[in-house]
Amino acid sequence: MIIGIDIDNTITHTTEMILHYAQLFGREQGLNTTPDLRYYYLEDILGWDKRVADDFLNNYLGRIYTNMQPKEQAVDVIRELKKQHELILITSRNQKFPAVEEVTKNWLQQHGVPYDRLILNKTSNMHFFSKLDACRENGVEVMIEDHYELVSEISPHMPVIMFEYPYNRHLQNENIIRVNHWREVAGWLEQYQPQQIGNVG
């Protein structure tokens, strides 16, 4: 099977690392540092001006992407999956900045995350791109994702294993599989039988 996997807040604890640096930066700048985790985007989480949030991210993303930690058992489960499946990492991290691609590849290597292909965002939007086309172009059959817009976009077309967060809890359809731990991802994939197509006797 071909499995698509998002990176931020799916393989990694991204929000935690962003907030760690945002609180240092916010205290320095006299900005609010109390997060509202119902939201997804930093400017909404902290109620900052979008320009301030973008400036912060431009300056700190290298450190954030370098120092973030994988989720519990993420690496172990992904290694097990790699033995049986093709793994396509699809991230909204932007390819326009060569440093982002380099930091991402280094992090995956350092933490021993195996994959067949890494697809980054090529659009002008720094932090988001539509992933359905990338899924289709790569024959992805199941996607693992946390972003509510992407789960909404992809789940009408294939099962989406969704890591649950306050910002995506409102989503519901029969193709969405909610999980909180990578062991649940492994368990669901083990029992999943893709539909047989064109099996004419």
The residues binding Mg ion (CB under 5 A) are 6, 8-10, 146-147
Give the E-state strand segments of the chain in sequence order. Answer: 2-5, 86-94, 117-121, 142-145, 160-163, 176-179
Cβ nearer to Mg ion, comparing 10 with 104: 10
For residue 184, count other CB atoms closer than 10 A to its CB: 16
Provide the minimum distance between the beta carbon of 6 and Mg ion in the complex, in angstroms, as a whole number: 4
Provide the minimum distance between the beta carbon of 3 and Mg ion in the complex, in angstroms, as a whole number: 15
Provide the minimum distance between the beta carbon of 98 and Mg ion in the complex, in angstroms, as a whole number: 21
Give the E-state strand segments of 6-115 in sequence order. Answer: 86-94
For residue 44, count other CB atoms closer than 10 A to its CB: 15
DSSP tag of 12: B
The dihedral formed by the CA atoms of 135, 187, 146 and 103, expressed in degrees to the nearest 10: -70
Provide the minimum distance between the beta carbon of 149 and Mg ion in the complex, in angstroms, as a whole number: 11
Provide the minimum distance between the beta carbon of 12 and Mg ion in the complex, in angstroms, as a whole number: 9
Provide the minimum distance between the beta carbon of 27 and Mg ion in the complex, in angstroms, as a whole number: 27
Cβ nearer to Mg ion, comparing 27 with 169: 169
Cβ nearer to Mg ion, comparing 25 with 163: 163
Cβ nearer to Mg ion, comparing 9 with 155: 9
Rounded to whole angstroms, how far apart are CA atoms 150 and 29? Answer: 33
Rounded to whole angstroms, how far apart are CA atoms 100 and 38? Answer: 27
Radius of gyration of the chain (CA): 17
